[in-house]
Amino acid sequence: MKRPLLFLGASKGLTLIEMLLVIGIVLTLLAIAFLSISNIRVISSNTSTQTVLISDLKNQQIKAMTGDTEGRGTADNYGVKILSDRYVLFHGLSYNPSDSGNFVIPIDGRQTLTSTFQNGLIIFASNSGELINFTIGQNTVTIMDDDGESKVLHFNKYGTITQVDN
């Protein structure tokens, strides 16, 4: 009588070495998947912060250009104060931290903001929307996460973002 071709001998099941090898391969694949997902989270978080910040900057500029009074009676300048863990939307020619009209936007705890604008102030002029006290070389905002990934927003004197560096 002939033996079947798939005869594996008397042993049935897996050996300890085979089992450890399979577990090692599965754990390696899970580690790769986890690292890929965590990198997507960092990229997504930076992009989200960038999108919201740009939107808020444009809204402040539009308020300045259209003469929005927010119920105060007269048109005013509008600005954004950049702090490391948040930014503040305000009205006027200067930032007053105790002004009840300020609107504070916290950023993700894994990120920090920095600015080369003088005192971290980006102020849009009433009617024109141009940046007040604009200086070349002092015209960037950087969003950096705790993994060292960053996005740098470059502005021109008209308040337009002209470049985003990754």
Buried b (16+ CB within 10 A) or exposed e, 69-104: eeeeeebbbbbbbbbeeebbbbbeeebeeeeeeeee
At 13, the pLDDT band (50, 70, 90 cuts) reads confident
Please provide the average confidence, as pLDDT, over all residues in the chain.
87
Sheet of 150-155, strand order = 111-115, 140-145, 150-155, 161-165
Q: What is the mean pLDDT of residues 83-97?
A: 94
Q: What is the pLDDT of residues 94-123, one digit of tens each?
A: 999 999 999 999 998 889 999 999 999 999
pLDDT higher than threshold 60 for residue 49 = yes
Q: What is the pLDDT of residues 116-142, one digit of tens each?
A: 999 999 999 999 999 999 999 999 999
pLDDT higher than threshold 90 for residue 43 = no
At 35, the pLDDT band (50, 70, 90 cuts) reads confident
Task: Residue 46: count other Cβ atoms within 10 Å of its Cβ.
Answer: 21
